[in-house]
């Protein structure tokens, strides 16, 4: 079937935006389907990301919903990517548009599992740490850096929401990340203390992968996030997604063999990582050393 020929990620993001546009236009599913000469089932499947959709259909929907021209053009382009086997989303604009597909997926997820071996995960960064990271972007103007910082902090709101319940966040953090300073020691002390506080939240699990384990498969794979989704009103949930954020874009993978490979890597991390208490103890030890350097 058409909906099974490619990655579900662009379809799901496209469907979410089209549903928002329809709602903002004050149209019901039945009313929109009639106006577009679609069946109700067809419109539902498009909005649910269950069916591929043509550029001409998206163009017609955007016109009916009075979408902004630039947004309509972006959605028409996205429609052309809904049959891709794996989806590469190039950032282009350094600011907020590139992370919208991820934010959309994270909003629907019930479980986020992240392997971080380069930086503190965005969802757990303090403002000062995020600021120090963003200031390493010489290609951005000062105004763009401030916007990027706000985008990073806004992504953390998913962990504070009440309805629907916040997703479970599980982090496997390489010890090297704790030792890598991004600014002066005071920033790292605050960040490390924040990690300990966050690790005590009921929806957060934080474990450290010690340097002593040497090279392992996750170190070769690099940073990634696994997103799992609830079944919702359907018997079968949306397929899990592997999200990899890189310098010039983001890679989204949801084919079964790809997800299985990263699940195997995650299981390997589970076998070598410190437990929760050991992880907090190690972070506390490194915090004390950083605090000494601060003086």
pLDDT in tens, 230-240: 876 555 778 89
CA angle 175, 180, 252 (to 5 degrees): 70
For residue 195, give both structure tokens: 């990690």
pLDDT of residue 275: 98
What is the DSSP secondary-structure string of 151-190?
A: HHHHHGGGGT-TTTTPPEEEEEEEHHHHH--SS-HHHHHH
pLDDT of residue 12: 87
Burial of 65 (0-12, 13-18, 19+ CB in 10 A): buried
Percent of the chain predicted with pLDDT > 70 = 89
Q: pLDDT band at residue 271, thresholds of 50, 70 and 90?
A: very high
What residues contact 240, with CB distance under 8 A and at least 6 apart? 226, 227, 228, 229, 254, 259
Distance CA 153, CA 149 (A): 6
Which range scores top for mean pLDDT: 17-26, 95-104, 242-251? 17-26
pLDDT of residue 10: 82
Q: Which of 34-43, 92-101, 151-160, 234-243 shows the lowest mean pLDDT across its residues? A: 92-101
Q: Where do the H-state alpha helices sit in the chain?
A: 8-24, 29-36, 40-47, 55-64, 69-79, 100-108, 127-134, 142-155, 175-179, 185-199, 217-221, 256-272, 276-294
Burial of 59 (0-12, 13-18, 19+ CB in 10 A): middle
- What is the pLDDT averaged over residues 246-251? 79
- What is the pLDDT averaged over residues 41-49? 92
pLDDT of residue 259: 95
4 pLDDT above the threshold of 70: no
Percent of the chain predicted with pLDDT > 90 = 58
**CA distances to 68, 104, 107, 191 from 172, in Å:** 41, 23, 21, 16
58 pLDDT above the threshold of 60: yes
* Whether pTM exceeds 0.85: no
92 pLDDT above the threshold of 60: no
**CA distances to 8, 253, 294 from 181, in Å:** 38, 31, 12
**For 171-222, what is each residue's pLDDT tens digit?**
999 999 999 999 889 999 999 999 999 999 999 999 999 999 999 999 999 9
- What is the pLDDT averaged over residues 145-168? 87
- CA torsion 123→128→132→138, rounded to 10°? 90
Q: Which of 1-15, 70-84, 234-248 shows the lowest mean pLDDT across its residues? A: 1-15
Strands 111-116 and 204-209: unpaired
Can you tell me whether residue 225 is helix, strand or coil?
Answer: strand
Strands 224-228 and 111-116: antiparallel
pLDDT of residue 96: 42
pLDDT of residue 235: 56
Neighbours of 70 (CB within 10 A): 9
6 pLDDT above the threshold of 80: no
For all residues of the chain together, what is the average pLDDT?
88
pLDDT of residue 65: 97
Contact present, 265 and 218 (Cβ < 8 Å): yes
Per-residue burial over 219-248, b = 16 or more CB atoms within 10 Å of its CB, e = otherwise: bebebbbbbbbeeeeeeeebbbbbbbbeee
3 pLDDT above the threshold of 50: no
């Amino acid at each position: 079937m058409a909906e099974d020929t490619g990655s579900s990620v662009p379809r799901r993001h496209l469907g979410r935006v089209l549903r928002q546009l329809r709602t903002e236009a004050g149209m019901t599913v039945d009313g929109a389907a009639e106006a577009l000469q679609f069946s109700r089932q067809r419109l539902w499947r498009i909005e649910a990301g269950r069916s591929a959709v043509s550029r001409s259909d998206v163009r017609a929907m955007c016109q009916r919903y009075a979408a902004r021209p630039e947004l309509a053009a972006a959605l028409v382009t996205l429609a052309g990517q809904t049959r891709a086997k794996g989806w590469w989303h190039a950032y282009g604009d350094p600011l907020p548009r590139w992370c919208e597909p991820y934010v959309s997926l994270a909003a629907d997820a019930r479980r986020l599992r992240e392997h971080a071996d380069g930086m503190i995960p965005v969802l757990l960064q303090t403002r000062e740490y995020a600021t120090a990271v963003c200031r390493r972007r010489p290609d951005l103007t000062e105004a763009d850096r401030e916007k990027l910082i706000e985008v990073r902090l806004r992504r953390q709101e998913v962990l504070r929401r009440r309805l629907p319940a916040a997703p479970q966040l599980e982090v496997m953090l390489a010890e090297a990340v704790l030792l890598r300073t991004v600014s002066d020691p005071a920033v790292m002390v605050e960040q490390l203390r924040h990690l300990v506080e966050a690790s005590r939240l009921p929806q957060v699990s934080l474990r450290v992968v010690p340097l002593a384990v040497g090279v392992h498969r996750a170190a070769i794979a690099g940073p990634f996030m696994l997103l799992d989704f609830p079944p919702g009103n359907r018997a079968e949930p949306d397929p899990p997604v592997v999200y990899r954020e890189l310098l010039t874009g983001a890679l989204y993978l949801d084919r079964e063999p790809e997800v299985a490979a990263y699940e195997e890597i995650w299981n390997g991390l589970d076998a070598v990582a410190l437990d929760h208490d050991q992880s907090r103890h190690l972070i506390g030890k490194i915090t004390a050393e950083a605090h000494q350097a601060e003086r």
